[in-house]
Chains A and B, each alone.
Chain A
Amino acid sequence: MSDINTGMVEKYRNNFLKEVEANVEEGDWVKMCMQCGVCSGSCPMGPYWDHPPQELFMMIRAGKRDEVLTSTSMWMCTSCYNCIVRCPRELPITHIMHGLAHYATRLGIEPKGQPTRQFAQLFWDNLAKNGRVNELWLGVNLYFMNGLVEGIKVAMGMAGIGFGMLKAGRLSLKELVGGHTVKDKKGFKAMIKKAQELEAARIDNAQ
């Protein structure tokens, strides 16, 4: 367990709801859930969640800290926003799901090896480099996510589609070296750095 995680456990003791309210994006909405289950019923990924959103909210209130933060559930969210649109209490459910995922990652207790989490990390690393998504490298990294042998297998399987996209100009080999960037890359980097500092300070202050 990371230091930051033990610190948080120490600080909030049994009151996980308070911890979530203080540290998770839109976390102070959790108490407003009225357990109607419309979010769970509306989620296209619903059957694949261990704990649908409304249940996660109840688990937070019941103080089930480890079960919630190490859960793969919120990582299943595809940001379709069905739940937000339908929630009669207008809870920003999608945001809370990402908030929980993000908070677990900050604490270092997120589920390892969970594919959507891995993809999210790849996506972020790719994006944070140049301020633009380099689709060629994102694809390559994704194929080789599970090692070289499997990467080659997947890449061979996708070769036809890849050539088609190259032909149609949807993919450029130029992207292999450097790739396109935002206009002010230095400014972008500075912005990300500042944001990370602020976030870290928030968590530190919370400790």
Chain B
Amino acid sequence: MSGMANEMKIGAYICNGCGIGDRLDSAQLESTAKRDGKAAICQQHDFLCSEAGVNMIQHDIDNEGVNRVVIAACSRRAKTDAFNFQNVALVRTNLREGVIWVRPDTDDQQETTQEMADDYIRMGCAEAKYAKPPAPSGEQSVNKNILIAGGGVSGMKAALEASRAGYPCTIVEKTGALGGATAQLYKKIPTKAPYADPEDTGVAEMIAAVEADSNITVYLNSTLTNTAGAPGRFAADITTESGSTETKDFGAIVQASGFSPYDASKLPEFAYGKNKDVVTQMELEALAKAANGGPIKRPSDGKEVSSVLFIQCAGQRSKKEGHLEHCSGYCCSASIKQAMYFKDQNADIETTVLFTDLRTPGAGGENFYRSGQNKGVSFRKGIASEVVDGANPTVKFKDLILDEDMSEEVDLVVLATGMVPNAGQPTRAQLTDQDNEDMASEKAGEEVEIRIDVESILNLDYRQGKDVPHMDNGFADSHFICFPYETQRTGIYTAGPVRRPMDSQQAMEDAVGAAMKAIGAAENSGLGRAQHPRVGDLSFPTFRKEGCTQCKRCTVECPFGAINEDEKGYPIYNESRCRRCGTCMGACPVRVISFENYSIDTVGQQLKAVDMPDEFSEKPRILVLACENDAYPALDMAAQNKLEYSAFTRIIPVRCLGSVSLSWITDSLNSGFDGIILMGCPSGDDYQCHFVKGSGTAQERMGKVGDTLQSLSLEQERVQTYEISITDIHKVPKIINDMVDTIEQIGMSPFKF
């Protein structure tokens, strides 16, 4: 780093390429940067992202002491490889997508378009003035060890893959043997073409490979009794059954704690527990293992089974209390496989699969279904209502094709019950009202143990709970479509059925992904860089202790449990747990939290830098705070599509709507903005927020804006919040233009001084 780092020196660089030079008066932009922006150096270039342009900037950094670089060219999302300078604070001012592409090229619009560009130059320089070059904290070094919780096929696969990549792994397995649920199977659903017959599980070979790998350490009969620290410096207490504890350090964690079979005793209507010849799929695997290719005998009297009926979705895909709401995804294929156990041994055995929707996901699923039909497995679309106990169980069901009530007496009934994830304990935020009431007394300083009858898997030493937060239906995930394997705890990745229901093949594929993520987290956190979604970001939050009121709002609102508290209630930022969203910054009522290059000032000074025309100018000013993940790209794409929006708009990208401080809203109203639009990601159950809860938290906070508006005697319509998806390209310009219309109706803000 340059020795002059503390002396702030702004270099502003204006690009004249892509039509910017033709549309805008760049000489005026240059003088604005120098006069209003206080840029020490300002240069123009016809092709700034070219090698010559980049070299020009680098030259100033190396020789002129420029440490705040303002690039006035295209969107911050474009040309990131070219404009990549080390040890400086970089600000991008968007003249292309933000100005010329959204404005018509006509003489009568020239004045307002130029004003827009001038304001963006002022805003860029103001941001640069308050931004510092981010630098890693040096909080930790690289720790290549990967901790894997669970020794099933997911855990073993993760270990084997990470080990092959050169990362030592430690598997902590609760039971006395590796192999997990897959080891209980007689055979598995086929994974290779032609997907016609059940396949060997391959678990024995996998266990042998793990045992032969000197890079993999296995702890059997062991659990994690405490997991402290953060990515890059996790310290895990591994406790064996006998009670001895060993503490080991890890860079990242893969949680492959798998699933438990649904408790079929919750299904008395199917005579489970009453009739011995009603078994679950897992129990049938044991019968098939015992038969080992010979005739399968039923539990009650050891009679060779001559007819078997599988009831799909037993206690699943149902909103009844105690039932699972989700589809476990693997049970249809598993029933086909199990029916083949019978058919392959003796084709005369009657095998019926009673289904409502037969679902056989995966490449070979349909082929396997066909193979089952070919082998004579009978598939009936119907809903079982009851299994009548008797010497032979009788299944009563409604056939949905024939629309008839029917019954079938068989030797054996198999219930396709689903997967319950072993996800550990829910977090405090996910507890019931009663639990929360119990914890209310904690405010009085008294620690209350959370009463949950579920054992914790990781026993995290995090303020926010002992395990990673759960999604719908109790699975531990963050956003299984956009960010698979990511949990809501940085550096901890889930793989296999703990993440979503799946079969062993999918679980192994999952494990490879999670292992890769874990390796990334170990490496990135060692370098002080963010892993996801702001990959490589070096900035991290710090707080000004003398201003902190120990209100704990930041620790509570952090979606990732990154922040702990010290004994006095001051926040402890675990840099490598942080995803750099800034939700803590938006939460802080006393505004003491900031990132080097993203703070109350870097945004607050931008909106103050906007040149505010007076009340009678007929030139309102609309401030848009747009989430950089979805809303800002949508605005960029609107520009690429040449969709126009008002020249009165001033857009500031924010890391997440959760990082928006109410002070920015108050300040902009006070400085005369006529309308404020906040654009964040959809929140709620089907959230698209890249930081899980940021946009939802922002929505809540914005509820208080009404009071502010009222106290200033301003109309409520002046501040509006929208949920924007990245595809809302046509919606965003309309929202802005509608706001301009609204302002025209309600009139200009009186706060223009």
- For the complex formed, measure the closest distance between the CB of B376 and the CB atoms of chain A, giving whole angstroms: 7
Bound: A62/B378 CA distance, A: 9
Q: Are A54 and B401 in contact (CB under 8 A)?
A: yes
Q: How near does chain B come to A35, taking the closest CB pair, in angstroms?
A: 5
Q: Are A35 and B401 in contact (CB under 8 A)?
A: yes
Interface class of chain A by DSSP: helix
Q: B378 touching A61 by the CB < 8 A rule?
A: yes
CA distance A64 to B404 in the complex (A): 12
Contact B376 A31 (CB under 8 A): yes
Decide if A59 touches B402 in the complex (CB within 8 Å): yes
CB–CB A62/B379 < 8 A: no
CB of A32 within 8 A of CB of B402, answer no
Q: Would you list which residues of chain A between 40 and 71 have a CB under 8 Å from chain B?
A: 54-55, 58-59, 61-62, 64
- Answer whether residue A34 sits at the interface, using C-beta atoms and an 8 A cutoff: yes
**Given A32-B373, A32-B374; A55-B401 close (CB under 8 Å):** yes
CA distance A32 to B399 in the complex (A): 18
B residues 358-374 near A (Cβ < 8 Å) are 358, 369-370, 373-374
B381 interface hit (Cβ, 8 Å)? yes
| Contact present for A31 and B381 (CB under 8 Å) | no
Q: 8 Å CB contacts to A: which residues of B367-422?
A: 369-370, 373-374, 376, 378-381, 399, 401-402, 406
Across the two chains, which residue of chain B brings its CB closest to A62? B402
Structural contact, A34 and B399, CB atoms closer than 8 A: no
Which residues of chain A come closer than 8 Å to B381, judged between CB atoms? 35, 58
Contacts of A58 in B (CB 8 A): 380-381, 399, 401-402
- Chain A residues contacting B373 (CB-CB under 8 Å) are 31-32, 34
Set of chain B residues within 8 Å of A54, measured between Cβ atoms: 401
Chain B residue with the shortest CB-CB distance to A57: B401
B398 CB, nearest partner CB in chain A, Å: 13
- Give A46 Cβ to nearest chain B Cβ, in Å: 15
Question: Which of B376, B378, B379 sits near A34, CB closer than 8 Å?
Answer: B379
Closest-CB distance, B527 to chain A (whole angstroms): 52
Query: Interface residues of B, CB < 8 Å — how many?
Result: 14
B402 touches A34 (CB 8 A): no
Contacts of B378 in A (CB 8 A): 31, 61
Inter-chain CA distance A35–B399, complex, in Å, is: 12
Report the interface size for chain A: residues with CB under 8 A from the other chain. 12
Taking CB atoms, residues of chain B closer than 8 Å to A61 are 378, 380
Q: Are A62 and B399 in contact (CB under 8 A)?
A: yes
Type the 1/0 row for B702-729, where 1 means its CB is closer than 8 Å to any CB of A. 0000000000000000000000000000
Q: Which residue of A lies closest to B350 (CB)?
A: A15
Closest A residue to B406 by beta carbon equals A62
Residues in chain B near residue A89, CB distance under 8 A: 370
Q: Give chain B nearest CB distance to A12 CB in angstroms.
A: 14
B443 to chain A, nearest CB (A): 59
In the complex, what's the smallest C-beta–C-beta distance from A60 to chain B, in angstroms? 11
Q: Which of A31, A54, A64 has the most CB atoms of chain B within a 10 A radius of its CB? A: A31
Q: Are A32 and B401 in contact (CB under 8 A)?
A: no
Q: How many A-B residue pairs have CB under 8 A?
A: 31
A residues near B399, Cβ cutoff 8 Å: 58, 62
Task: Name the residue of chain B whose CB is nearest to the CB of A89.
Answer: B370
Quick one: given A54-B401, A59-B402, are A32 and B380 in contact (CB under 8 Å)?
no
Assuming the A-B contacts A54-B401, A55-B401, A62-B399, are A32 and B379 also in contact, with contact meaning beta carbons closer than 8 angstroms in the complex? Answer: no
Q: What are the residues of chain B within 8 A of A31 when measuring CB–CB?
A: 373-374, 376, 378
CB contacts (< 8 Å) of B402 on chain A: these are: 55, 58-59, 62, 64
Tell me, in angstroms, the Cα distance from A61 to B404 when the chains sit together.
14
Bound-complex Cα distance A64 to B380 (A): 14
A54 to B401, CA, bound (A): 8
Chain A residues closer than 8 Å to B369, beta-carbon distance: 34
Type the 1/0 row for B85-116, where 1 means its CB is closer than 8 Å to any CB of A: 00000000000000000000000000000000
CB distance from B385 to the nearest CB of A (A): 17
CA of A58 to CA of B403, assembled, Å: 11
Most chain A beta carbons < 10 A, residue from B373, B374, B376, B399? B373
| Contact (Cβ within 8 A) B376 A32 | no
User: How near does chain A come to B533, taking the closest CB pair, in angstroms?
Assistant: 39
Which chain A residue shows the least CB distance to B358?
A34
Contact with A along B185-210 (1 / 0, CB 8 A): 00000000000000000000000000
A64–B402 Cα gap in the complex (Å)? 10
Within 8 A of B (CB), among A10-34: 31-32, 34
Give Cα distance in the complex from A89 to B370, angstroms.
9
A16–B374 Cα distance when bound, in Å, is: 17
Alpha-carbon gap, A179 to B374, bound state (A): 49
Q: Which residues of A are found within 8 Å of B401, using beta-carbon distances?
A: 35, 54-55, 58
> Contact: A35 with B379, CB < 8 Å?
yes
**Nearest B-chain residue to A30, judged by Cβ:** B373
Q: Which residues of A contact B374 (CB under 8 A)?
A: 31-32
Report the bound CA distance from A61 to B352 in whole Å. 11
* Chain B proximity of A67: nearest CB distance (Å): 10
B410 nearest CB across to chain A (Å): 14
Q: Which residue of B lies closest to A17 (CB)?
A: B378
Q: Smallest Cβ distance from A82 to chain B, in angstroms? A: 20
State in angstroms the CA–CA spacing of A61 and B373 once bound together.
Answer: 12
Contact with B along A73-94 (1 / 0, CB 8 A): 0000000000000000100000
**What's the nearest-Cβ distance from chain A to residue B399, in Å?**
7
Hey, what's the 0/1 contact readout for B640-666 against A, CB within 8 Å counting as 1?
Answer: 000000000000000000000000000
What CA separation (Å) do A34 and B419 show in the bound complex?
A: 26
CA distance A34 to B373 in the complex (A): 9
In the assembly, what is the distance between CA of A85 and CA of B167, in Å? 54
**B369, chain A: closest CB distance, angstroms:** 7
| Contacting residues, chain B, for A35 (C-beta < 8 A) | 379, 381, 401
Q: Which residue of B lies closest to A29 (CB)?
A: B373
Instruction: List chain A residues, Cβ under 8 A from B370.
Output: 32, 89
Cα-based distance from A197 to B241 in the complex (angstroms): 79
Task: Specify which of A35, A55, A59, A64 lies most central, judged by the most chain B CB atoms within 10 Å of its CB.
Answer: A35
Interface centre among B369, B370, B376, B402 (most CB of A within 10 A): B402
Q: Kindly report which residue of chain A lies nearest to residue B400, judged by CB atoms.
A: A35
Per the bound structure, the CA–CA distance linking A54 and B378 in Å amounts to: 15
Smallest CB-CB separation from A58: which chain B residue?
B401
Q: Report chain B residues within 8 Å CB of A62.
A: 380, 399, 402, 406
Alpha-carbon gap, A85 to B369, bound state (A): 21
Complex Cα distance, B352 from A31, in Å, reads 12
List chain B residues, Cβ under 8 A from A34: 358, 369, 373, 379
A103 to B402, CA, bound (A): 23
| A18 (CB) vs chain B CBs: closest residue | B376
Which chain A residues border B358 with CB–CB below 8 Å? 34
Minimum distance in angstroms from B361 CB to a CB of chain A: 15
Measured between alpha carbons, how far is A34 from B376 in the docked complex, in Å? 13
- B406 surroundings in chain A (CB, below 8 A): 62
- Chain A residue nearest to B403 in the complex (CB): A55
State the CA gap A55–B376 with chains docked (Å).
18
Closest Cβ–Cβ distance, residue B112 to chain A (whole Å): 58
Q: Looking at B358, B376, B379, B401, which has the most chain A CB atoms within 10 Å of its CB?
A: B401
Alpha-carbon separation in the docked complex, A20 to B380 (Å): 18
Instruction: Report how far A34 CA is from B336 CA in the complex, Å.
Output: 14
9 additional contacts (CB under 8 A) given A32-B373, A61-B380: A31-B376, A34-B369, A35-B379, A35-B401, A54-B401, A55-B401, A61-B378, A62-B380, A64-B402
A-B pairs with beta carbons under 8 Å apart, 20 shown: A31-B373, A31-B374, A31-B376, A31-B378, A32-B374, A35-B379, A35-B401, A55-B402, A58-B380, A58-B381, A58-B399, A58-B401, A58-B402, A59-B402, A61-B378, A61-B380, A62-B380, A62-B399, A62-B406, A64-B402
The 8 closest A-B pairs by CB, nearest first: A58-B401, A32-B373, A31-B373, A35-B381, A35-B401, A55-B401, A58-B402, A61-B378
